[in-house]
Amino acid sequence: MRTAVSTRDGILVTRQGAHPVSHVVGRRSEGPAAIDPSGRTVVTAEGVLIDVATGTRRQGLRGEDLLPTAVFSPDGRYLAAADTQGRLTLWDAGAQHRIAVLAVADSTVERPALAFSADGSLLAESRDDGSVRVWETASPRLEGTTLPAGDGPVLAIGFTPGARELHIATAHLPLRTAQLTPDSAAADVCARAGGGATRAEWHRYLPDVPYRQTC
């Protein structure tokens, strides 16, 4: 039998029998909560973790401001949280240990889109200028890679299977695709350029460098 379970934070979880199978989130506080891939734990905008089955509450994500955006990695290892100060942090999935501060406070970022790759190895965050930053979760203290800006605020982002591409949707451009592997990026550049430089072009622009095929 399918029923709706409500917590005092206004989070509704659709359940079938004893197991949650889908969820709808609504809050009195600002910003969305996040629900883990198993459907067993919800994080509220205040950083409170709620066990869906028992209603047990505990404070997690200590030291953060209100969370307009948070997301669990699909593999269940990580939790990323963006607070109202524009700071982005990476936590273990239980929100007990802050692994790294990926981005410091930035008042220009109001409500970023966040997405993990399927294996949790990459995390992407949108910026208000249409650009997207991507981090490797295995090396969270390395600066994230910034992908070029699009045409305005990002509405949604998502990785393809295998994390070879990142899809980015904006208000005026339904979808643009960023290549995330060197081979794919090189192939994309070659395709747009119509192939590599000819011998004549090479000798014209690089006369002192021996010719080699670039595509």
Looking at the predicted structure, is the pLDDT value of residue 173 above 70? yes
Q: Exposed, middle or buried by CB within 10 Å (0-12, 13-18, 19+), for 8?
A: exposed
The pLDDT of 100-122, averaged and rounded, is 86
Rounded Cα–Cα distance for residues 108 and 121 (Å) = 27
pLDDT at residue 64 is higher than 70:
yes
Average pLDDT of the chain is 77
Q: Is the pLDDT of residue 162 over 70?
A: yes
Q: Please write the tens of the pLDDT for every residue from 138-158.
A: 988 888 888 877 777 888 899
pLDDT of residue 74: 94
pLDDT of residue 176: 79
For residue 63, the model assigns a pLDDT of 77
The reported pTM is 0.69
- 174: its two tokens: 């339904």
- In this prediction, residue 91 carries a pLDDT of 95
Q: Considering only CA atoms, which of 88, 96, 92 is closest in space to residue 69?
A: 88
Average pLDDT over residues 171-199: 70
Q: What is the mean pLDDT of residues 172-179?
A: 77
- Nearest to residue 81, comparing CAs of 18, 72, 156? 72
